[in-house]
Amino acid sequence: MSVTPLPPPDRAEAARAVLFAKKRLGLRWDAIAEAVGKSTVWTTSALLGQQTLTREQAVAAGNLLDLEDAEVDALTDPPVRGAAAVDTTDPLVYRLTEVVQVYGATISELVREEFGDGIVSAIDFEMALERVEDPKGDRVRITLNGKFLPYRVW
């Protein structure tokens, strides 16, 4: 009887392998980012399947995380972005969605008032996350920094 070989892992399976290895090895995202040579936010996003990694970046992460060659290869596949790649039932993701639902129109109106009619890029974009100590309980500061792109009139 012949055995049908398994298909190679996809980006989602590679992301699960990354998370498993990170936990097994007791690593933090900042240590993985240092090995990859990029920011912690970008590296985390990339290894979760949302950004494109070069072969060198994937190999660096794979070496640190002791990934299989097929998992490293999958990290260089095109990213899977958007709703299909996010678990919206995750409580933190749900709350961030709620922030946009409650404040999205406000943010849009204030950006439009300050910059004009356009959008904030998620392509030419940076994000930072930091802990802010507070006697009532530590807080999370999330900074989203995207280039303003005016709508073109022709």
- Residues classed as catalytic: 95, 98, 121
Q: How far apart are the first and last CA of the chain?
A: 65
Query: 18 and 79 in contact (C-beta within 8 Å)?
Result: no
How far apart are the C-alpha atoms of 152 and 98, rounded to whole Å? 30
Map 33-75 to HEC letters.
HHHHCCCHHHHHHHHCCCCCCCHHHHHHHHHHHCCCHHHHHHH
The CA R_g of the chain, rounded to the nearest whole Å, is 19
- 90 and 120 in contact (C-beta within 8 Å)? no
